[in-house]
A = this chain, B = another copy of it.
Amino acid sequence: MTDANTNMRLKLPITCFILEIILIILFGVLVEYDKETDAKKWHHSNHSEYDNDFYYRYPSFQDVHVMIFIGFGFLMTFLQRYGFSSVGFNFLIAALALQWATLMQGFFHGMHGGKIHVGVESMINADFCTGSVLISFGAVLGKTSPVQLLVMAVFEVTLFAVNEFILLSLLGTRDAGGSMTIHTFGAYFGLMVARVLYRPRLDKSKHKNSSVYHSDMFAMIGTLYLWMFWPSFNSAITAHGDDQHRTALNTYYSLAACTLSTYAMSALTAHDGKLDMVHIQNAALAGGVAAGTAGEMMLTPFGSMIVGFLAGIISVLGYKYLSPILESKLKIQDTCGVHNLHGMPGVMGAIVGAVTASLATKEIYGDGLEDVFPMVAPDGRSASSQGGIQAISLAVTLGMALVGGLLVGFIMKLPIYGAPSDASCFEDSIYWEVPGDEEGHAGQLSTVKTEEVAKPEETEKLN
Least CB distance, A26 to chain B, in whole angstroms = 9
Asked whether A263 lies within 8 Å of B439 as measured between CB atoms, the reply is: no
Shortest CB–CB separation between residue A214 and chain B, in angstroms?
6
Q: Which of A156-164, A339-347, A430-438 contacts B (4 or more CB under 8 A)?
A: A430-438
- Distance in angstroms from A90 CB to nearest chain B CB is 9
Given contacts A42-B368, A43-B242, A246-B33, contact A229 B62 (CB under 8 A): yes
**Contact-residue bracket for chain A:** 35 or more
Kindly state the separation between the CA atoms of A7 and B2 in the bound complex, as whole angstroms: 46
Shortest Cβ distance from A250 into B: residue: B37
Tell me the smallest distance from the CB of A273 to a CB of chain B, in Å: 3
In the complex, chain A residues 84-122 whose Cβ is within 8 Å of any chain B Cβ: 84, 87-88, 91-92, 95-96, 98-99, 118-120
Is A151 an interface residue when CB atoms closer than 8 A count as contact?
no
Choose, from A12-20, A180-188, A348-356, the stretch at the interface. Answer: A12-20
CB distance from A361 to the nearest CB of B (A): 10
A440 at the interface (CB under 8 A from B): yes
Counting every copy of the chain, the complex holds: 3
Contacts of A284 in B (CB 8 A): 91, 95
Q: Which residue of B lies closest to A120 (CB)?
A: B245
Q: Which residues of B contact A329 (CB under 8 A)?
A: none
**Residues on B with beta carbons closer than 8 Å to the beta carbon of A257:** 20, 23-24, 99
Q: Which of A168-176, A217-225, A381-389 contacts B (4 or more CB under 8 A)?
A: A217-225
A415 within 8 A of B: no
Residues 297 to 324 of chain A near chain B (Cβ within 8 Å): 298, 300-302, 305-306, 309
A41 engages B439 (CB within 8 Å): no
Report chain B residues within 8 Å CB of A275: 8, 12, 84, 88, 431-433
- A37-70: CB near B (< 8 Å → 1, else 0) gives 1111111100001111111101100110110011
Q: Is A249 an interface residue (CB 8 A)?
A: yes
**Known interface pairs A255-B95, A263-B16; A40-B273 also in contact (CB < 8 Å):** no
| Chain B: CB-nearest residue to A455 | B458
On whether the beta carbons of A455 and B446 are closer than 8 Å, the reply is no
Q: Which of A277-294 contact B (CB under 8 A)?
A: 277, 280, 284
Contact of A240 with B50 in the complex, beta carbons under 8 Å: yes
Do A54 and B244 touch (CB < 8 A)? Answer: yes
Q: Is the CB of A246 within 8 A of B37?
A: yes
| Contact, CB under 8 Å: B241 / A49 | yes
Which residues on the B side are within 8 Å of A92 (C-beta)?
Answer: 259-260, 263
A218-255: CB near B (< 8 Å → 1, else 0) gives 10110011011100100000011111111011001101
Query: In the complex, are the beta carbons of A228 and B33 less than 8 A apart?
Result: no
Of A132-140, A203-211, A395-403, A405-413, which binds chain B? A203-211
Do B40 and A364 have beta carbons less than 8 Å apart?
yes
The distance in angstroms between the C-alpha atoms of A306 and B259, with both chains bound, is 42
- Chain A to chain B contacts (Cβ below 8 Å), 7 pairs: A31-B302, A52-B241, A62-B63, A84-B277, A88-B275, A214-B214, A275-B431
